[in-house]
Structure 1
């Protein structure tokens, strides 16, 4: 007796994922018309018969991806989440997104809920403080899970890590400031003893060489940036340039320097990190390390799709390139 065709046979015949076939069978509106037609033609060609009872026993969440983000209020992480979600939607996958607000207890709760509801895979930008415990639960569930932007579990063989080359960006930014004539450069923002802070300082430290770094570390927010700028305005210590942990800190510093009567781009050079949309809209326009977080989000989703559809496991560690966008705060002087 010939083997009865399965949903996997249909997926291979149509050139789509098993989850996409499942969505077609569920009449999901997420599937494009052309894709639906191709899957239905493959079902007909293979004489595939849908066993609804068996499908109900397996669960109906085969096309669902969990996206767990540490801080959706930050435009950088919001852009990542939106780009990843749209990529999944284009391939027929629905996405459930959770904001953990840097709370490891909330993170554990939402991941447990996603696992219980049968997500097919997880992409996680972990909250600070998690030492990988939540990944053990994911491992027991046997789900593909990708760590992005921050590493919580060192077991990258099971939980691959993808991020951006922050050290290279920091190096390029610091070199640009030196080549532009800066003599004394400070690094502002970022919490101490955090890997991402050290990565974003690494290139800066390398350019300084034997010189002592000047750092004002703290929460990477606009409020902290403004406070740091006011402190530097009161006691400049000869500082003529600042490299910031992120754009939020840099934008806050621009406000603080303006309050103090210090012209950014003339009296002091300033560079942010991430290159969120507001950098090109600020006055003066803010120089920043461009991370192309939108492309990174699309690539992370594509990596997960390949893992699900072909079994192709991502590399244990991958860093996407970054580039420096030189604008008015560190380039041409536009403020009289």
Structure 2
């Protein structure tokens, strides 16, 4: 039963009848595509919960049929902000509007905004999902029957239903680690990323492969993917593991925090400690020293995701279960190159 303080919606009818939102819509439109048994099942659900079709509201929603939902786990992180901006601009160029929500890593809030976007008639959904209670959001999307993609993080394993797209994380840390080895680093650490999370394991995988190939022992320091943790890690490595002379960071935020921490303790970045970040956000090139980073081509990735979801929506071209985009290495002063200027 729908909550008593609001009108029942199509979503409530779909949930009660055990069908998708699209099926309920077809019943309302008296579509011949719906089997009689299903039609009766939906009509019974409507009667039971007191659903009344509001044609004026439906007409208003139809004017917004070009809406695409974009749900991001952390818009405070410049990487996600740059991605969301690129995606939104690419959708706009095709006549679609993006409805953007930040979930702040809260799966309950994510489920709430996903339900709200579905109810307000988005045509498709793109999620960089929060971890935890994954079923809350993805079951609602499955019921709604709209195209929905996971990007940057994979939390739902049914990628045939919810395709996943991300840069090639393992290759990124592999080439970063190999670069530090070529620069003469002898003891390289992987710094940042919360332990146990799939995205941490993926970004760490290439580092571990390169370290093993070089016959070295890994040194892993997991933690929040933040500047504060990076700054703390710079102090911790200098105090407890001064032999570490290279760091591959989970992301640029951690790496920029490490640069700040090294400045505080007088450790020379690029000579005493070589640092490589990951993502290559805009700020990486403007730090001092400039930050070497795994370049994910955030702008190109946002455009690709927009093209992929619209091909699905407009032409019924279902994406492959997993898309990986190439990465490269932007080499700058933090890893030992002579800084420009």
Q: Give the TM-score range, shorter chain.
A: 0.7 to 0.9
Select the residue among 307, 312, 315 that pairs with 2:317. Answer: 312
Structure 2 residue 73 is the aligned partner of structure 1 residue 70: yes
Helix, strand or coil at the partner of 1:111: helix
Matches within 5 A, 1:77-226: 77-209=80-212, 211-226=216-231
| 1:78 alignment partner, SS class | helix
Distance 1:158 1:84 in 2: 21
Contact 1:266–1:333, Cα closer than 8 Å, also in 2:
no
In structure 2, the partner of 1:26 is none
Asked if structure 2 preserves the Cα contact closer than 8 Å seen for 1:123 and 1:147, the reply is yes
The alpha-carbon distance between structure 1 residues 137 and 286, as it changes in their structure 2 partners (threshold 3 A), is same
Corresponding residue of 2:21 = none
| Distance in 1 separating the partners of 2:221 and 2:264 | 19
Whether 1:251 aligns to 2:241 is no
Deviation at 1:331, TM superposition (A): 3.3
**1:159 Cα deviation after fit:** 0.8
Cα displacement string for residues 214-245 of structure 1 (whole angstroms, at most 9, x for unaligned residues):
11110010001001101112233411111100
Inter-CA distance 57–333: structure 2 relative to 1 (3 Å threshold): closer
Gap change, CA 1:63 and 1:267, over 3 Å in 2: same
| 1:16-45 deviation per Cα after TM superposition (whole angstroms, max 9, x unaligned) | xxxxxxxxxxxxxxxxxxxxxxxxxxxxxx
Q: CA RMSD in A?
A: 1.8
* Corresponding residue SS for 2:202: helix
**For 1:172 and 1:330, how far apart are their aligned partners in 2?**
13
- Residue in structure 1 matched with residue 17 of structure 2 by the alignment: none
The answer to whether the 8 A contact 2:61-2:121 is kept is no
Shift of 1:53: 7.5
Unpaired runs of 5+ residues, structure 1, are 1-51
Matches within 5 A, 1:49-60: 56=59, 59-60=62-63
The answer on 1:235 being equivalent to 2:252 is no
Deviation at 1:268, TM superposition (A): 1.1
Determine helix, strand or coil for the equivalent of 1:71: coil
**For 1:215 and 1:173, how far apart are their aligned partners in 2?**
15
* Map of 1:295 onto structure 2: 300
Flag the 1:58–1:253 CA change in 2: closer, same or farther, 3 A.
closer
Three-state SS of the structure 2 residue aligned to 1:61 is coil
Q: Deviations over 1:92-124 (max 9, x none)?
A: 111110000000010000001001111101000
Instruction: Point out where structure 2 has 5 or more consecutive residues left out of the alignment.
Output: 1-54
Aligned residues: 284
Classify the secondary structure of the residue corresponding to 2:334: coil
With the length of structure 2 as denominator, give the TM-score of the two structures: 0.80
* Partners of 1:80 and 1:293 within 8 A in 2: yes
- Cα distance in 1 between the residues matched to 2:288 and 2:57: 61
Query: Does residue 1:280 correspond to 2:285, yes or no?
Result: yes
